[in-house]
Amino acid sequence: MNISDVAFSLQSPLSLPEDEVHLWNVDLAAVAEAEPRWKQILSEDEQARASRFHFSKDRQHFTATRALLRMILAGYVHSDPTELVFGYSHKEKPSLSSPRSDSQVEFNVSHSGAIALLAFARGRLLGVDVEQLRENFDHETIARRFFSEEEQRQLAMLEPPERYDAFFRCWTRKEAYIKAQGSGLSLPLHQFDVSLKPGDDNALLSTRPDSSEAANWSLREVQAAHGYVAALCVRGHGWRLTS
Ligand SMILES: CC(C)(COP(=O)(O)OP(=O)(O)OC[C@H]1O[C@@H](n2cnc3c(N)ncnc32)[C@H](O)[C@@H]1OP(=O)(O)O)[C@@H](O)C(=O)NCCC(=O)NCCS
Q: Is 39 in the pocket of ligand 1 (CB under 6 A)?
A: no
The distance in angstroms from the start CA to the end CA of the chain is 5
Closest Cα partner for 205 from 159, 139, 133, 148?
Answer: 148
Greatest Cα pair distance, the chain, in angstroms, is 51
The domain at 130-242 falls in which architecture? Alpha-Beta Complex (3.90)
Instruction: Check: CB of residue 128 under 8 Å from CB of residue 176.
Output: yes
Q: What are phi and psi of 206, to 5 degrees?
A: -160, 155
CA distance 28 to 99: 28
Domains 2-6+15-127 and 130-242 share a fold: yes
Residue 101's pLDDT is: 77
Residue 198's pLDDT is: 95
For residue 181, the SS3 value is: helix
Q: Is 129 in the pocket of ligand 1 (CB under 6 A)?
A: yes
CA distance 72 to 108: 12
Q: Is 175 in the pocket of ligand 1 (CB under 6 A)?
A: yes
Q: Which of 59, 110, 196 to mutate to test the pocket of ligand 1 (most atoms within 8 A of CB)?
A: 110
**Bridge partners of residue 98, in order along the sequence:** 85
Domain ranges of the chain: 2-6+15-127, 130-242
Mean pLDDT by 10 residues, the chain (243 residues): 94 93 97 95 97 96 98 95 93 89 89 97 97 88 94 95 94 97 84 95 94 96 95 97 95
CA of 187 to the centre of ligand 1 (A): 13
Residue 93's pLDDT is: 93
Q: Which fold has domain 2-6+15-127?
A: Ribosomal Protein L22; Chain A (3.90.470)
Instruction: Check: CB of residue 115 under 8 Å from CB of residue 228.
Output: yes
CA distance 113 to 58: 10
For residue 86, the SS3 value is: strand
